[in-house]
């Protein structure tokens, strides 16, 4: 995979100011040279993403972060050493040279080193840091296969690298390190339970009017079909055309037109990896509603429930991951 002609071509496109969709271990990204503001602007255009929503800069090597940020607090360094490459994004005070469009005018920048051979070769070959949001239209579910990207952004991107299905399946965990405080901005592919033993208590951001991570908007990661989290068996009598997103097994087979099971063996990693594909399959069936079963909020279950709440638009201050 290392220096395949396709990756070389993709790197050439990035160097020439184009945009390329590429796999990471979490979800597919849509990347451009982070220091080419015009190229980055095209990402916003293609995604129809509001300019107030900053992008994550992807690096191929932890040492490259030094040129992007003012300083790296020791707790951030610890996490980077332990979990990179991996599903962890750190938000730090940015160096002035980072284009404003990348950081949405904030004094900070989000950085991450992805754990996927294609992503890492692409960064290495293109010899630049790559600014990349998830490769989906703004507000919709993130893509976890190249096919998802093709369906939604197909001809609008210069090239799509196909690295198969993403192994983690939910976006990276975002932690900010500002003014001496560590704060979880988005639960994701790296569980909080793995972070806190290393650096102590991490604050959890409350929902805000002006979110510091717009992935934290109440309705986000949403399919077209309404998702309902808060339901019971009695509710179901009124509906004919509904689907079920089940965690482990389907208790009520008859009522649903289609059932997706996230993990038969109840494995949270498998459930996370299947989440967006399962919702997409349900969304393609023109159902009236998708009933979703809650999963236990431990480990990756926290990220899964966060995405389900946002997809259902029921995110509320007291439903923050605790």
- Site mask for ligand TXA (CB under 6 A), range 105-144, x = bound: -x-xxx-x-x-----------------xxx----------
> Cβ 267 to ligand TXA, closest distance in Å?
20
The answer to whether residue 86 forms part of the interface with ligand TXA (CB under 6 A) is no
The Cα–Cα gap between 249 and 177 comes to 40
- 25 or 125: CB nearest ligand TXA: 25
CB atoms within 10 A of CB 50: 12
Strands 173-178 and 181-186: antiparallel
- 213 or 227: CB nearest ligand TXA: 213
The Cα–Cα gap between 70 and 62 comes to 14
Tokens of 104: 């949405």
CA Rg, the chain, in Å? Answer: 19
Q: Total binding residues for Mg ion by CB under 5 A?
A: 1
Please report, for residues 52, 81, 296, 304, the alpha-carbon distance to residue 214 in angstroms, rounded to integers and kept in the order given.
Answer: 8, 27, 25, 17
The Cα–Cα gap between 3 and 121 comes to 7
The answer to whether residue 134 forms part of the interface with Mg ion (CB under 5 A) is yes
Residue 108's binding partner among Mg ion, ligand TXA, none (Cβ under 5 to 8 angstroms by kind) is ligand TXA
Query: By CB under 6 A, what part of segment 21-60 binds ligand TXA?
Result: 24, 26-27, 29, 53-56
Q: Are 174 and 185 in contact (CB under 8 A)?
A: yes
Query: By CB under 5 A, what part of segment 256-275 binds Mg ion?
Result: none
The answer to whether residue 103 forms part of the interface with ligand TXA (CB under 6 A) is yes
Q: How many CA atoms lie within 13 A of 274 on its CB side?
A: 19
Residues at the contact surface with ligand TXA, assessed by CB under 6 A: 24, 26-27, 29, 53-56, 89, 91, 103, 106, 108-110, 112, 114, 132-134, 171-172, 174, 185, 212-215
Residues at the contact surface with Mg ion, assessed by CB under 5 A: 134
């Amino acid at each position: 995979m290392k220096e395949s002609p396709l990756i070389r071509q993709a790197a050439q496109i990035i160097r020439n100011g184009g945009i390329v969709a590429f796999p990471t271990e979490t979800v597919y990204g849509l990347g451009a040279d982070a220091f080419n503001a015009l190229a980055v602007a095209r990402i916003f255009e293609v995604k129809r993403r509001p300019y107030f929503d900053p992008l994550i800069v992807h690096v191929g090597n932890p040492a490259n972060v030094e040129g992007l940020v003012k300083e790296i607090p020791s707790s951030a360094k610890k996490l980077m050493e332990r979990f990179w490459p991996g599903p962890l994004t750190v938000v730090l005070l940015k160096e002035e040279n980072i284009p404003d469009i990348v950081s949405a005018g904030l004094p900070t920048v989000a950085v991450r080193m992805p754990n996927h051979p294609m992503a890492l070769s692409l960064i290495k070959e293109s010899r630049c840091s790559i600014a990349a949001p998830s490769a989906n239209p703004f507000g919709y579910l993130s893509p976890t296969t190249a096919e998802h990207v093709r369906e939604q952004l197909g001809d609008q991107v210069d090239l799509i690298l196909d690295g198969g299905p993403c192994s983690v399946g939910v976006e990276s965990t975002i932690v900010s390190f500002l003014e001496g405080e560590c704060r979880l901005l988005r639960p994701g592919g790296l569980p909080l339970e793995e972070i806190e033993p290393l650096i102590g208590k991490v604050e959890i951001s409350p929902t805000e009017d002006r979110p510091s991570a717009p992935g934290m908007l109440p309705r986000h990661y949403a399919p077209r079909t309404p998702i309902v989290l808060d339901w019971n068996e009695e509710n179901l009598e009124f509906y004919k055309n509904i689907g079920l997103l089940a965690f482990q097994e389907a208790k009520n087979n008859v009522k649903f037109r289609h059932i997706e099971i996230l993990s038969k063996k109840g494995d949270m990693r498998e459930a996370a990896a299947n989440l967006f594909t399962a919702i997409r399959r349900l969304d393609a069936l023109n159902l009236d509603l998708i009933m979703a079963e809650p999963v236990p909020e431990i480990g990756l279950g926290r990220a899964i429930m966060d995405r389900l709440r946002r997809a259902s638009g029921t995110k509320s201050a007291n439903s923050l991951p605790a």
